[in-house]
Amino acid sequence: MADKSTSGEILGVPYNFERPSIGRMLSAYWKPGERMIVEKPFGIGYTLNLANWRSWIVVAVAAVLLWQESQTDADGEGGAEEPVEVIVDDD
């Protein structure tokens, strides 16, 4: 039986199942001069390059949305707590 490749590309999506090391993990998430999205050091797909300023905007927007969702749940304005009355008119 042939040995299967631990890294490569399927339908344009990269994959890498080699045992990750600390150095490879750190260098994968911090690549100055590279694009905003880079290949993941382990697994399938892409990840954010934290050396790119655009990635920090994505992280900040995600953090604000998570904070806003937690504030909505704490205020009780989630909408799922109160029952909804539905009236059906049989004409």
**What are the b/e assignments for 3-26, b being 16+ CB within 10 Å?**
eeeeeeeeeeeebbeeeeeeeeee
Per residue in 23-74, pLDDT (tens digit) is 888 888 999 999 999 999 899 999 999 999 999 999 999 999 999 988 876 6
pLDDT for 52 equals 94
Per residue in 4-22, pLDDT (tens digit) is 788 888 898 999 888 888 9
pLDDT for 33 equals 92
Q: Are strands 37-39 and 46-48 parallel, antiparallel or unpaired?
A: antiparallel
**Residue of 49 and 2 predicted with greater confidence:** 49
**What are the b/e assignments for 68-82, b being 16+ CB within 10 Å?**
eeeeeeeeeeeeeee
